[in-house]
Amino acid sequence: MRLGEGVEAAIHCAATLASVDGNSTMPGAALAEAFGLSPSYLLKHLNMLTAARILESVPGPAGGYRLARAAERITLLDIVLAIEGREPAFRCSEIRRNGPLRIDASAYVKRCGINAAMLKAERAYRAALAETRLSDIVANYAEEGDPRSFAASCAFVARHQRRQKSSSTKQA
Amino acid sequence: MRLGEGVEAAIHCAATLASVDGNSTMPGAALAEAFGLSPSYLLKHLNMLTAARILESVPGPAGGYRLARAAERITLLDIVLAIEGREPAFRCSEIRRNGPLRIDASAYVKRCGINAAMLKAERAYRAALAETRLSDIVANYAEEGDPRSFAASCAFVARHQRRQKSSSTKQA
């Protein structure tokens, strides 16, 4: 089982965007620079986060990305599903009815017990991911991260964020 | 996130082998037939289960596969790790230190909070998989599965299992 590498980039970018002031945005190129990623590689993942309404993409000269809602309302599960898709990790292909043991369809109305057990574990995984909010990640970084590293991140955000003319603010 | 298709085949085969009598074996070809799988495709996964000491491969005319220990002592986690490997689904590539924000190595001694949160969820997933024993899967199939389907499986096992001359039995 493996999550795509995009998940790491997506969570780091969302956590970075949680630190911009008010409704400011940050360009994708700056996010890519912060983590030493290729802008075109990152763009794909930023688009996925935007499609999932975790980020907003603002066009124009002061454009860029910002969180679409408060970091308290975004969980790691939201981000993982945006990048990896909503299908469970275990995808039952019903091999129980592939061979000569197959009987009529009425025998397979009930979900296979193996699939049920695998889905139960997936629910535990998703519940654990849903317990961690983006705001928890940011608070943990501020409290437990290396203070020099945290200060460097804050300075980077301050240097690259773009203030907006409009007075609209992030939806709380 | 996606588990390989081999996991489904591996669990079904192990559950089937849990039903053979005593120390009897079942040939890989019969297991492949039972689930409509190509024997060469299945062989790879049976070899992985054998390497992980979940199955034993017995050579010779009455050879085949059998469980290496009692079904009560094999969990879904054992099988998933045998097929998918032991690495966590989220593999942190430390992008936090890839860009211009990088400071000296002393800042990264502590695990990144994002990695820590992802690993916590993985522990929840693995704990849930470890809670389900192969014997639970078999008992559930006997109790809750379609009785015609269960009877067909039992008959298939009875027809294809190979009794051993030796009096050795599965390690309890």
ipTM: 0.93
Closest by Cβ to B113, choosing from A8, A110, A145: A145
- What angle do helix axes B39-51 and B76-84 make, rounded to 10 degrees? 110
Kindly tell me if the per-residue pLDDT of B19 is higher than 70.
yes
Distance from CA of A163 to the nearest CA of B (A): 22
Would the CB atoms of A152 and B95 count as touching at under 8 Å?
Answer: no
H/E run at residue B147: helix B147-160
Kindly tell me if the per-residue pLDDT of A172 is higher than 90.
no
* Backbone φ, ψ for residue B164 (5° rounding): -105, 145
Segment A99-116 shows an average pLDDT of: 89
pLDDT at position A1? 78
pLDDT at position B28? 97
Segment A62-81 shows an average pLDDT of: 97
State the pLDDT confidence band at A97, using cuts at 50, 70 and 90. Answer: confident
Q: Give the count of beta carbons closer than 10 Å to the beta carbon of residue B128.
A: 21
Give pLDDT tens digits for B111-168.
899 999 999 999 999 999 999 999 999 999 999 999 999 999 999 999 999 999 865 5
Token pair listed for A27:
């360009």
- CB of A49 within 8 Å of a chain B CB? The answer is no
Q: Which residue of A has its CA nearest to B89?
A: A2
Distance from CA of A166 to the nearest CA of B (A): 30
Give pLDDT tens digits for B88-105.
999 899 988 888 888 888
Segment A5-17 shows an average pLDDT of: 96
Give pLDDT tens digits for B48-61.
999 999 999 999 98
Closest by Cβ to A121, choosing from B1, B113, B128: B128
Kindly tell me if the per-residue pLDDT of A52 is higher than 50.
yes
Kindly tell me if the per-residue pLDDT of B47 is higher than 50.
yes
Indicate the pTM of the whole model. Answer: 0.92
